[in-house]
Amino acid sequence: MSAAQRTAVVAPVRRRSVTLGLSATGCVAALVVIALLVLAVIGPMLAPYPPGAIVTDDLFGPMSRAHLFGTDYLGRDMLSRILESARYTLGIALPAAALASLTGTSLGMLAASAGGLTDAALSRAMDTLICFPSIIFSLVVVAACGSSVTVLILTAGVIYTPGCFRIVRSIATDISAKDFVHAARARGERSPAIVLEEILPNMVAPILTDFGLRFVFIVLLLSSLSFLGLGIQPPYSDWGGLVRENLDGLSSGAPAVLIPAICIAVLTVSINLLIDSLPSRKGARRG
C-alpha cells in the first residue's frame, strides 16, 4: 500500500492561468477587435456629422481638425462615413460567420457521429461547394439574386460552411476514436449525449478559432465584392464600398480612399494576430 500512497502524493500541479495566456501582441489585438465592435454599435452616435450630409465643398479634403479623416468625393465627412459603414462591414460579416460556423459545426458533427451514407453525402456536397473560389460563388449568386443584405449574409454563410465542416468533422472523428468516447459508448450512452457531453466540450477552442478565421475571410470577401461594386448598394456602403467610391482620390493620395482600406486591414490583421497568439495546449516533450 505504500507504493499506492506514494503515487497519490506525487501529483504534478500545472498552473492553469487565470488570464487567457495571451502574448502582448495578442492583448493589443484583442483590445483593437473589442474597440471596433463597440464602435460599430455606438459609432453613429459619436459621428460629428449626419452620415449622408454634404458638409463642405472641399472634395477629397485632407485630414483636418474639422474633418479628422478628411472628406470624400462629394464633400461628406469621412469619419462619419466610416462610423456609419462599420455597421455594414461588421453587421453582415458577423451573422454570416455565425451562420457558417453553426451550420458547419452541426453538419460536421452529424457527419462524424452518423458516419456511413450520411457522412459520404454531406462530405461530397461540401466538396462541391469548396470547388467554388468564394468570390466566384458570390458573383454567381449576385448575378442571379442581386446583393441585398440578406443575400450577402446567406451567400457568405454558405460559401464558408464547408471549411468549418471539414475542420469540425476531422476533429470530431479524431475525438470519436479516443477511448473516453468508447468508454461512454460502452456505458450505453446514446449518440446525442456522447456528442454533447464528451465530444463538444473538447472542440470549443478549435471552433472559436475557426470562427475568427471565417470572420476574417468574410470581411475580406464582402469588402472585395463592394470594391467591385457588387456588394452593398448605394446610398449605403461598407468599408470596401467607401474605397471604391473614393477611388478617384487615389491619384492625390486622399485619406478618403486610404482610411477605409486601412480600417479593414486593422480589423482583419488584429483578429488574425489574436488567433495566432492563442496559447496552444500542447506540453513539451520530455525524455
Partner 1 sequence: MDDAAAPYVEVSGLCVVGREDGAAPVPIIIDLNFAIARGEVLALIGESGSGKTTAALALMGYARRGCSITAGHVRVGITDVLALPPHGLTAYRGRNVTYVAQSAAASFNPSQRIMSQVIEPALVHGLMSRGEAEDKARMLFRALALPDPEGVGSRYPHQVSGGQLQRLMAAMALITGPDLVILDEPTTALDVTTQIEVLWAFRNVVRQLHTTAVYVSHDLPVVAQLADRVVVLHGGKEQETAPIATILHEAEHPYTRSLLAAAKPSSKVASTPVAADAKRDVLAISGLVAGYGGLDAQGMPRFPVLHDIGFGIGPGSVLGVIGESGCGKSTLAQVIAGLLPAAHGTMLLDGRELPRRVAERTPEQLQAVQIVFQMADVALNPARTVAGILARPLKFYHGMRGAAARRRVAELLDMVHLSLQLAERYPDELSGGQKQRVNLARALAAEPKLILCDEVTSALDTIVAAAVLELLAELRRELGVALMFISHDLSTIRAICDQVMVLYAGRAVEAGPRATLESKPMHPYTELLLASVPELRTDWLDGIERAALEEASAGLTMEDLHRPCPFFRRCPVHLPGLCDVQPPPVQRLSKGAAIACHRTEDELRQAQ
Partner 2 sequence: MADASAATGSGTIRVSASHSVVLGLILRRTGLSLLLLLTVSIVVFAGTELLPGDVAQIVLGQSATPDALAGLRLTLHLDQPAWHRYFTWLFGLLTLNPGESLVNNMPVADLVGGRLGNSLLLASLTTLVTVPLALLIGITAAVWRGSPYDRTVNLLTVAAVSVPEFLFATSAVLIFAVHLHWLPALSYAADADSFSGLLRSFALPVGTLAVAIFPQMARMTRAALISTLGSSYIEMAVLKGVRPVRLILRHALPNALGPIANAIALSLSFLLGGIVVVESVFNYPGLAKLMVDAVSTRDMPLVQACAMIFCSGYLLLVLTADIVAILSNPRLRYR
Q: Among 36-44, 45-53, 160-168, 240-248, which window interacts with partner 2 (CB under 8 A)? A: 240-248
Q: How far apart are CA 90 and CA 207, in angstroms?
A: 20
Residue with grid cell 456528442, as numbered in its chain: 195
276 near partner 2, judged by CB under 8 A: yes
Q: How far apart are CA 224 and CA 228, in angstroms?
A: 6
Would you state the cell numbers that stand for residue 219, as one nine-digit string?
470581411
If the CB atoms of residues 4 and 24 are measured against partner 2, the closer one turns out to be 24
* Member of 157, 240, 241, 255 binding partner 2 (CB under 8 A): 240
Distance of CA 1 to the CA centre of its chain: 55
Q: Are 142 and 151 in contact (CB under 8 A)?
A: yes
Residue with grid cell 464602435, as numbered in its chain: 39
Q: Which amino acid is at 137?
A: F
Q: Among 5-13, 50-58, 226-234, 237-245, which window interacts with partner 1 (CB under 8 A)? A: 5-13
If the CB atoms of residues 109 and 162 are measured against partner 2, the closer one turns out to be 162
If the CB atoms of residues 113 and 237 are measured against partner 1, the closer one turns out to be 113
- Which of partner 2, partner 1, none has residue 229 at its interface (CB below 5 to 8 Å by kind)? partner 2
- Which of partner 2, partner 1, none has residue 65 at its interface (CB below 5 to 8 Å by kind)? none
- Which of partner 2, partner 1, none has residue 251 at its interface (CB below 5 to 8 Å by kind)? partner 2
18 near partner 1, judged by CB under 8 A: no
If the CB atoms of residues 145 and 193 are measured against partner 1, the closer one turns out to be 193
If the CB atoms of residues 31 and 196 are measured against partner 2, the closer one turns out to be 31
**161-176 vs 204-227: helix crossing angle, rounded to 10:** 170
* Member of 19, 45, 65, 286 binding partner 1 (CB under 8 A): 286
Q: Which residues are bridge partners to 40 per DSSP?
A: none
Count the residues of the shown chain that bind partner 2, applying the rule CB under 8 A. Answer: 45
Half-sphere exposure (CA, 13 Å, Cβ side) for 86?
26
73 near partner 2, judged by CB under 8 A: no
Cis peptide before 235 (omega within 30 of 0): yes
Q: Residue 276: CB partners within 8 Å, gap ≥ 6? A: 26
Segment 119-178, which members bind partner 2 (CB under 8 A)? Answer: 124-125, 127-129, 131-137, 139-145
If the CB atoms of residues 195 and 221 are measured against partner 2, the closer one turns out to be 221
- Using DSSP's 3-state secondary structure scheme, residue 32 falls into helix
For every residue of 86-143, DSSP letters joined together read: HHHHHHHHHHHHHHHHHHHHHHHHHHHHH-HHHHHHHHHHHHHHHTS-HHHHHHHHHH
Segment 6-65, which members bind partner 2 (CB under 8 A)? Answer: 25
Half-sphere exposure (CA, 13 Å, Cβ side) for 69?
23
Q: List residues near partner 2 by CB under 8 A.
A: 25, 124-125, 127-129, 131-137, 139-145, 216, 220, 223-224, 227-230, 240, 243, 247, 250-251, 253, 257, 261-262, 264-265, 268-269, 271-273, 276
Catalog residues that contact partner 1 under the rule CB under 8 A: 1, 3-14, 16, 178-180, 182-189, 197-198, 201-202, 204, 283-287
